[in-house]
Copies of this chain bind each other. A is one copy, B any other.
């Protein structure tokens, strides 16, 4: 399968980690764990030259593919062989980081187990393992990534210091090298104007808050990524347990906000959700930010059983599919900004129309 075919296969698939699994998935969209690992005695990617990087990349790839440490490793991409558009697609699907999307020589991505597991090669570190699960499920994600890590560590000599732990390119990852995050959907806290207080509380607990696409994308679509900041001084399980406990509190907080609004200011929720639906279902030009925020409101409406014909799964997918690279690849041709906004409106409108027509039959 050549790169174009692989990309098209990816594009045609629903995002596997957005499949609701009943694990608080009304409010917790997905749980992600990343582990940073490096090979002993080899320069970190940022200081290695292009040839060294390519050599390490091939070595890691061969080892991983032959190892059976990953379930069904279906896709492999060399970054510098991908077009800018294809790299953007991988970024929008949260398979690669901003850094990797810059396509440094000798960087690559392995995708496995649907899109639930993946490995970035030669990002900031030699390996960045990633496991993404739907809902709030850091424990399962940890079991999975921990298995992959153990399995690979028998085949690759990971740089490890008995005092510091795993050595990483950036000191902020040293120790466990773990970055755990949960993406939460908190429109109730936004609508009831409690979000700033809640996020302030999160930050004072030493956790980080980001938007759907990392730093600087806060609050788009009411989606927030909460992650651990420190990788040192706590075990992986402690980090995960502490994060999970905070997330559970936020989920309760969001649910209470919705109940309170439904009891005391029902018109605010009905109006917010109704208008969002009206916009998504009937607009012919739709910007990305407006689309994300409207989808966020609609998602809450579906959670609240206001739209029996619609399902969370489809709305989750739309959050991904309305992004520029997805739209351009679906359209199969270049689109200027206005054309993208028209295409975005078409995709959303048609998706909702189709669901409603299916629900009727």
Nearest to A279 among chain B residues (CB) is B278
What's the number of copies of this chain in the assembled complex?
2
Interface stretch, picked from A34-42, A280-288, A326-334, is A280-288
Q: Which residues of B contact A270 (CB under 8 A)?
A: 284
Known: A267-B284, A267-B342, A284-B267. A275 touches B278 (CB 8 A): yes
A165 interface residue per 8 A CB criterion: no
Q: A275 touching B267 by the CB < 8 A rule?
A: no
**Alpha-carbon gap, A338 to B271, bound state (A):** 12
Choose one: B267, B268, B275; the contact of A282 (CB below 8 Å): B275
Instruction: Tell me if A345 counts as interface (CB < 8 A to partner B).
Output: yes
Nearest chain B CB to A251 CB, angstrom units: 26
- Specify which of B275, B282, B285 is in contact with A283 (CB 8 Å cutoff): B275
Report A302-339 CB contacts with B as 1/0, cut-off 8 Å: 00000000000000000000000000000000000010
Does chain B have a CB within 8 A of A277?
yes
A305 to B281, CA, bound (A): 18
A211: chain B residues at CB < 8 Å are: none
The 10 closest A-B pairs by CB, nearest first: A278-B278, A278-B282, A274-B282, A271-B284, A270-B284, A271-B285, A267-B284, A275-B283, A274-B284, A267-B342
Instruction: Tell me whether B278 and A281 are in contact (CB under 8 A).
Output: yes
Q: Closest approach, in angstroms, between the C-beta of A295 and any C-beta of chain B?
A: 14
Residues of B close to A281: CB separation below 8 A: 278, 282
- Of all chain B residues, the one with the shortest Cβ separation from A275 is B283
Residues of the B chain whose Cβ atoms lie less than 8 Å from the Cβ of A274: 282-284
Q: In the complex, what distance in Å separates the CA atom of A229 from the CA atom of B282?
A: 42
Tell me how far the C-beta of A320 lies from the nearest C-beta in chain B, rounded to whole angstroms: 23
Q: How far is A282 from B277 in the complex, measured between Cα atoms in Å?
A: 7
| A152-182, CB < 8 A from B | none
Between A and B, 6 residue pairs with Cβ closer than 8 Å are A271-B283, A275-B278, A275-B282, A275-B283, A278-B283, A279-B279
